[in-house]
């Protein structure tokens, strides 16, 4: 047995010390155009974001570069054209009183950059029925179950057409403190109230919530999970949602994204693949262009989730420290518009 152990050790040393390092030349990554944007039946302006894929390195960390200086247009099947304005690097926007999506119209995105012309496959803007019913259920934490308020939606599917759906949501929460210092432990922070109305915005980041009527044509698509609201307070939880119509190509695109997002990396999972959208190079259709330009009918709605009836206490976040009440009242701080905060009353807001 001792001789066998010595033999195994020597064998391991032999195999580990005789391995030569292999330098694999992966080549330079291809620079690709990435398109993100859509036109809807909601009033504009609409935004198109253009980026290019970047080399994965320590400096870039695989992030995309914003594409500046492009010419971007949206046209419809009536011959109407509108050129978008570059409002910041890589962000192109229609006029506030310009083009607006209409059900039954077909829309095409045109891009000119670096001497190349790109455009989308024309997208038909299809109608959607909207959410018919919303239900909320509280579930306690359990193996494989996240604690929270599960929000489900039902929608009636028309029998005459093949239909595809996507849902998105945003949670708005009133904010009273617009400035809070980060200070060393044991010292008093400077906390300033908002000068007026203010709401924090919590979006459905990374969510892909889609469905088709392939198994439910002409019936009700029921108990589609929309969101899980956390139990962090007994106060009401305001959820604004939108239902989007999708074309069949758009549904396939979002389905592919969903599969990649939920690919957990098991041995039976398919390796990641390039998901091609509906954009192409006019002069070279073999060039791979990433992203999708969509056209959707949008039906909005909201739900105020009552979180007051749960017998266990909420998982409240730590309380925010406030300055002493003695002395003159502190000055206020403006509620600055951003992707995570707004001074404007949210759509369909109800206290």
Q: Is residue 152 part of a domain?
A: yes
Whether 173 contacts 346, CB under 8 Å: no
Residue 253 has pLDDT above 60, yes or no: yes
Predicted confidence (pLDDT) per residue in 28-44, tens digit: 467 889 999 999 999 99
In a domain, 190, yes or no: no
Please indicate, yes or no, if residue 165 is contained in any of the structural domains: yes
pLDDT digits (tens, 9 = 90+) for 40-65: 999 999 999 999 986 544 344 445 78
Final residue of a domain: which of 87, 103, 124? 124
Domains in the chain, number:
2
Q: Is 84 in the same domain as 136?
A: no
Over residues 293-302, mean pLDDT:
97
Is the domain of 50 the same as that of 137? no
Does any domain span residue 223?
Answer: yes
Percent of residues, the chain, with pLDDT higher than 70: 80
Do 91 and 213 lie in one domain? The reply is: no
pLDDT in tens, 171-223: 999 999 888 766 667 767 778 889 999 999 998 877 899 999 988 888 999 99
The rounded mean pLDDT for the chain is 84
Distances (CA, A) of 143 to 136, 140, 147, 201, 313: 20, 10, 10, 30, 20
pLDDT tens, residue by residue, 99-154: 999 999 999 999 999 999 999 999 999 999 999 999 999 999 999 999 999 999 99
Reported confidence tier of residue 262, pLDDT bands at 50, 70, 90: confident
SS3 content of the chain, % helix, strand, coil (to 5): 10, 40, 50
Same-domain pairing of 222 and 86: no
Residues 165 and 47 in one domain: no
Give the structural domain span for 167.
131-183+201-272+298-309
Q: Are 90 and 113 members of one domain?
A: yes
Residues 108, 169 within the same domain = no
The reply to whether 239 and 213 lie within a common domain is yes
- What is the domain-level CATH number for residue 257? 2.60.40
Name the strand (E) or helix (H) holding 253. Answer: helix 248-261
Say yes or no: 155 and 230 in one domain: yes
Q: What is the pLDDT of residue 168?
A: 95
Q: Domain for residue 143, yes or no?
A: yes
CA 256 from chain center: how many Å? 15
Are 114 and 37 members of one domain? Answer: yes
Evaluate whether residue 284 is within a structural domain.
no
| pTM as predicted | 0.81
């Amino acid at each position: 047995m001792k001789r066998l152990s010595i033999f195994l050790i020597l064998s391991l040393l032999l195999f580990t010390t005789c391995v030569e390092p292999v330098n694999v030349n992966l080549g330079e990554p291809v620079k690709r155009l990435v398109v993100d944007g859509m036109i809807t039946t909601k009033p504009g302006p609409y935004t198109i974001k253009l980026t290019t894929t970047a080399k994965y390195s320590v400096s870039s960390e695989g992030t995309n570069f914003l594409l500046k200086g492009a010419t971007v247009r949206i046209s419809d099947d009536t011959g109407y054209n509108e050129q978008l304005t570059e409002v910041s690097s890589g962000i192109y926007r229609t006029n506030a009183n310009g083009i607006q999506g209409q059900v039954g119209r077909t829309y095409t995105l045109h891009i000119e950059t670096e001497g190349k012309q790109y455009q989308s496959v024309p997208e038909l803007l299809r109608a959607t029925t909207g959410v018919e019913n919303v239900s909320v259920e509280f579930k306690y934490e359990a193996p494989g179950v996240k604690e929270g308020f599960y929000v489900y939606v039902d929608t009636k599917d028309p029998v005459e057409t093949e239909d595809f759906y996507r849902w998105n949501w945003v949670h708005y929460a009133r904010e009273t403190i617009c400035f809070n210092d980060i200070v060393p432990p044991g010292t008093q922070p400077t906390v300033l109230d908002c000068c007026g109305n203010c709401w924090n915005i919590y979006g459905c980041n990374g969510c892909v919530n889609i469905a088709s009527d392939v198994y439910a044509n002409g019936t009700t698509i029921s108990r589609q999970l929309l969101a899980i609201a956390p139990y962090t307070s007994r106060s009401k939880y305001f959820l604004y949602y939108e239902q989007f119509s999708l074309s069949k190509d758009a549904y396939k695109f979002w389905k592919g994204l969903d599969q990649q997002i939920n690919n957990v990396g098991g041995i039976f999972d398919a390796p990641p693949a390039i998901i091609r959208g509906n954009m192409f190079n006019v002069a070279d259709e073999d060039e791979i262009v990433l992203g999708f330009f969509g056209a959707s009918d949008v039906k909005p709605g909201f739900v105020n989730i009552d979180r007051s009836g749960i017998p266990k206490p909420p998982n409240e976040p730590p309380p925010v420290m406030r300055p002493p009440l003695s002395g003159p009242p502190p000055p206020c701080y403006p509620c600055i518009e951003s992707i995570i905060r707004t001074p404007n009353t949210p759509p369909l807001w109800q206290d």
